Amino acid sequence: MGARRSKWRVVTALVVVLLMAIPVVGSVAKRPVEDPGVSGATFGKTIDFSLYTHCGISELKAFGNYYERIGGTLGDGFGNPPAGWDNPYQAGRLSVLGDKATFRDTRGHAVEFKVRPGATGFSTICS
């Protein structure tokens, strides 16, 4: 009978520890996202986003940071977005994790960007 009672004590202790951890995990996951800049990094934030595509896909600004496309500008070679992309904007979702951002849309496009440290504006102005 002692072994059975001991087993229930262990199970009860684990349940108590788990229940105590839930508010801590919830408060961390729901903390407000500030404008942290590069050093603070934004973790796990996803938002609706309109990506500017008019002169090709090369940069974006989100959460106070300027990002550049990994791999350079994505375009048709004539200053336009590739076939299958809306112009001048493509609606989708932007996910930011640390210094990387990923844009995805319902058409299956996925584009990755990285922070340009110290940037205070876009590197290219589209005419």
Question: Which residue ranges make up each domain of the chain?
Answer: 1-31, 37-115
Looking at residue 11, what is its pLDDT? Answer: 58
Average pLDDT of the chain to the nearest whole number: 80
10 Å CB burial of residue 13 (0-12, 13-18, 19+) is exposed
CA nearest to 105, candidates 95, 91, 115, 118: 91
Mean pLDDT of 14-35: 44
pLDDT 10s digits, 79-111: 999 999 999 999 999 999 989 999 999 999 999
Q: Which has the higher per-residue pLDDT, 127 or 55?
A: 55
4, pLDDT greater than 70: no
Q: What is the CA radius of gyration of the chain?
A: 22
